[in-house]
Amino acid sequence: MGPYRQGIAERRKESWTSPDTATDSGGMNLKNARVLLVGGTSGIGLGVATAVAERGGVPIVASRNQASVDRALGTLPDGARGLTVDLTDPAALAGFAAQVGPIEHLVFTAGEELQMYPLADITAEAIGDLFGTRFAGQLLSVRAFAPRITAGGSITLTSGTAADKPDLGVLPAAVCGAVSAMTRALAVELAPLRVNAVAPGPIDTPLWSALAPEGRDALYAQYAQQLPAGRMGAVTDTALAYTYLMEQEFGTGQVLTVDGGGTLV
């Protein structure tokens, strides 16, 4: 058994908790918990960082851009940390993990807007760009940080509803499906470390800012008419899903869909 698997095996023996000793609330408390949020400087990630801080946790936001980190720290309470990282550089990622140190939870929300390409227009570059961050970035982050997550901690990744309802085209469906499958596989390999994912639907984030205001308003109105929930999703809706998966203690290998019922219609 290699040192990586040996470390996982030791954690398996040390961190198992009997149902008799589980918390009365049925979950963990995020107070003082160190939560690394890769992609936590805007949109859903910043919403999760804010929710962690509101629960007494210590958000550590990471992005490839220092200006984004600085802006995020300007909105978060004192005690929050911010660092830059290049997810495409394994050596830099390893150094980043050593810089961060032990954490209780890893949350990954980094990724550009999912683009829809007709099959005939898909290029090798488009495939590499999408899978480079949304799949490889998540997997390499897990590899770097899993040994540093304390007993009872968790990993929460980000998939998407395109895995179940591929109306955005083959690339978003493929990468979201890959992340969902990876989540289940990692939950088995890294047990008892809990590994889950959130699959957000249409959420009002800065990713939509490229649209003209009138076009964005029309799109939001269309979603409000189509979705059973009757409205576009808010960042706070999705942030609650991430904090739930961190705080609960029994669910692992699950993909929690937060889409206003969009996959049903």
Q: Which residues are catalytic?
A: 159
Question: What are the residues whose beta carbons fall under 8 Å from the beta carbon of 38, sequence distance 6 or more?
Answer: 45, 62, 85, 87, 106, 107, 108, 109, 110, 137, 141
Total residues found in the chain within this entry: 265
Q: E strands, 94-193, where?
A: 103-108, 149-158
Label the pairing between strands 194-200 and 34-38. unpaired
> What value does the CA radius of gyration of the chain take, rounded to a whole number of Å?
18
What gap in Å lies between CA 150 and CA 25, rounded to an integer?
Answer: 20
What gap in Å lies between CA 8 and CA 1, rounded to an integer?
Answer: 10
**Apex CA 116: angle with CA 115 and CA 119, to 5°?**
130
Label the pairing between strands 149-158 and 103-108. parallel
What gap in Å lies between CA 236 and CA 252, rounded to an integer?
Answer: 22
CB atoms within 10 A of CB 81: 15
Short-list 198, 100, 183, CA closest to 144: 100
How buried is 122 (Cβ within 10 angstroms: 0-12 exposed, 13-18 middle, 19+ buried)? Answer: middle
